[in-house]
Amino acid sequence: MTSADNAEAPSFDQPSTTKRKRVRLPSMGLRMSERKLLLMVFDVLFLCFSLILAVSLRTDLLPSLEAVLLSSKWYVTLLIVWAVMANVFDVYNLARSADPGHSFWATAGAAGLTGFIYLGIPWLTPPLANRSYGVLFIFFAVVSVSLWRILYASLFVQPVFQHRALVVGAGASGQALVSALQKNSSAGKANPFQGTGNIIVGFTDDDPIRVGELVLGIPILGDSKNLVYLVESLEVDELVIAITESTSISPDLYEAILDCREKGLPIVTMPTIYERLTGRVAIEHAGLNIELATGQSDGAFLRMFNIVKRVIDIFGALAGIMLLCLIAPVVVLGNLIASPGPLFFRQDRLGRGGRVISVIKFRSMLPGAEEQSGAVWAAENDPRVTSFGRWLRNTHMDEIPQCINILRGEMSMVGPRPERPEFVEQLSKSIPFYRARHSVRPGITGWAQIHQDYGDSFSLAVEKLEYDLYYIKRAGFRLDTVIMLRTITKVLGLKGR
C-alpha cells in the first residue's frame, strides 16, 4: 500500500444531503492475488505461444491445432521449468514487477534461462533432430514476456487498477501499518510495497478532536458515524480494522462496520493485511492472539508434510555429508594458511522445544575468539573472522557441517535459524511470542534468511521473529520450495557474513 496524496483533507463531518453529480470511471481495483494471477497467466500464454510459433516456423511437427494439443507434455515441461526459474528470479514480486527496468531484466533472465534448460531436456520436449527451433524459441520467449512485463508496469499502476483501503483507527496499530508501507530500504531501493496496487485513502477515528489531522501524511476523515458515507463516497474497496483490542470497539463503530459488511465490503484486520503485504506477523499489534503461539492446527496435511520433510532432510543431509567430505580438505588447507586451529566450530543454540543443541560449522574465526568477546551478534567486517573464514561465510560453506545436526534430528533444511541461549533469554523477555519459534525444528535456511541479513540489533530481531512466525503459520511444500530456491540465489550472490 502507499499513502494517498497529501492534499488537504476533505471534510466529512456532516454528509451532505445533495451530492454533486459526477461521472464514475469504471474501477478494476486488483488485489495482490489477482495481480499475481494476471502476471502468471500472461507469462504462461506468451511462453507457450513462443514455443508453438518457433516449432511451427522451423519444423512440420505442428500442422494443426490437434497436434498442438497432443503434444501437451511439451508445455507441461515448459511450465514446470518456468515455475522454478520464476521463483529463482523472484519475478512475481509485485514491487519489482511495477518497476519497468527491473521487471524487464528479471523476466528476460528467467525466460532466457528457462529456454536453455528446456532445450536440454530429452523426451519431454520436441525431438532433438528438430532443435533448430531453439534459438527462435528463446528469442520469442524473452522478447514477448519482457514486453508484456513492461506493459504491465506501465498500465496496471494506473488509478483505475488500484485497490483502495480505508483504515479504521489512527492509533499505534494503524500508524505501524502505514509506517511499514512507507518505509524505504537503507540501500535506496524503492518502497517494497509499491506495485501492490494498494493505497490508503484515509483514516477514521472516534476522537472528534483528531478529525482533519494528518497522520503520517494521511488524513483522518471522520468517525464511526461517517464510516458508511466515507466508504461509498471514496469508492473504498476494503476496510482495514487497525484496533488491536476488540473490546475497544464502541457499539456505534461495531454497527457501522456491520453496515459496511452488509453492503458487501471486504473487511480485514491490520495483522492480516500486514501479513499479506510484508510476509511477516505483526507481533507487536496482534494483542493476546494465542494463535500466533500455537501455529498451524495438527491436521492430516501437517503430519504428512512433517513426515515427507523429514525424509527429504535425511536425503539432503546424506548429500551434504558427501559434499562435506569433498570440501573438508580444502577448508583444512585454507585454515592452516590463514589461522591454524580446529577444523570445526561448535556453538550452543536452542532447538525445538527449547532444548540446547550443539550446532556444527566450519571454523571461520580466530581460535578462541568467543572466549574473549563472549556471545555477540554477527556483524559486518567482524574482526574475529579470518580472511579465509570470510570466504567461507560469503559462500555459506561454513554451514555445510550442519548436515550432521540434520541427521541427528536436531535441525531441518528449512526452518527458523536457531538462536544463542544468551540472546533468547534477553529477547523472550521483551518480544511477545518469541518462544513460539521453538515449536518447530530450526533450519539451515529460512523465510527470515531470504528476506533480511543477519539480525544484529533488537529491531532486526523483532523483524526476524515476524518472518519466523509467518513461516510457522504457513509452512508447507510450496513455501519450503520457494525458500530453497531463493537461498540458492542468495548463495550465488555471495551475500553471507
What residues form DSSP beta bridges with 484?
Answer: none
Do strands 267-269 and 344-350 pair parallel, antiparallel, or not at all (unpaired)?
Answer: unpaired
pLDDT of residue 185: 38
Q: Are 455 and 280 in contact (CB under 8 A)?
A: no
Is residue 7 in some structural domain? no
- pTM, two decimals, is 0.80
Whether residue 25 lies inside any domain: the answer is no
388 & 329 share domain: yes
Look at the alpha carbons of 38, 41, 45, 48 in this order and tell me if their dihedral is positive or negative. positive
List the chain residues with pLDDT less than 70.
Answer: 1-29, 58-70, 128-132, 183-195, 246, 286-297, 369-381, 454-456, 493-497
Residue 282 has what pLDDT?
Answer: 82
474 with 402, same domain: the answer is yes
Amino acid at 332: V
Question: 309 and 387 share a domain?
Answer: yes
Give the position of cell 461517517. Answer: 226
Angstrom CA distances, 176 to 163, 283, 291, 340, stand at: 20, 11, 21, 49
Is 284 inside any structural domain? no
Query: Are residues 146 and 231 both part of a single domain?
Result: no
Report angle CA 144, 149, 154 to the nearest 5 degrees. Answer: 130
Asked, for residue 416, whether it belongs to a domain, the answer is yes
User: Which pLDDT score, from 0 to 100, does residue 9 have?
Assistant: 46
DSSP-derived letter for residue 373 is H
Co-location of 305 and 419 in the same domain? yes
Domain boundary among 103, 131, 155: 155
Give me the residue label for grid cell 511462453.
Answer: 47
Tell me: do 346 and 455 sit in the same domain: yes
**Residues 142 and 168 reside in one and the same domain:** no
Lookup: cell for 308: 515427507
Question: Which three cell numbers, joined as nine digits, stand for 468?
Answer: 519466523
Q: What is the pLDDT of residue 194?
A: 57
User: Which among 129, 155, 181 is the end of a domain?
Assistant: 155
Considering the domain architecture, whether residues 183 and 132 belong to the same structural domain is answered as no
Of the three residues 155, 176, 197, the one that is the final residue of a domain is 155
Distance from chain centroid for Cα 236: 26
With CA atoms as reference, report the closest residue to 93 among 136, 152, 137, 53.
Answer: 152
Q: Which residues pair with 344 in a beta bridge?
A: 362
Are 334 and 200 in the same domain?
Answer: no
Domain extent for 388: 300-368+376-492
93 and 207 in a common domain: no
235 within a domain of the structure (yes/no): yes
* Per-residue burial over 301-333, b = 16 or more CB atoms within 10 Å of its CB, e = otherwise: eeeebeeebeebbeebbeebeeebeebeeebee
Q: Does 235 share its domain with 198? A: yes
**Tell me: the pLDDT tens digits for 111-136?**
999 999 998 888 888 775 556 678 88
Per-residue pLDDT of 135-192, as tens digits, reads: 889 999 999 999 999 999 888 877 778 888 899 988 888 888 888 777 643 333 444 4
Number of domains in the chain: 3
- Is 68 within a domain? yes
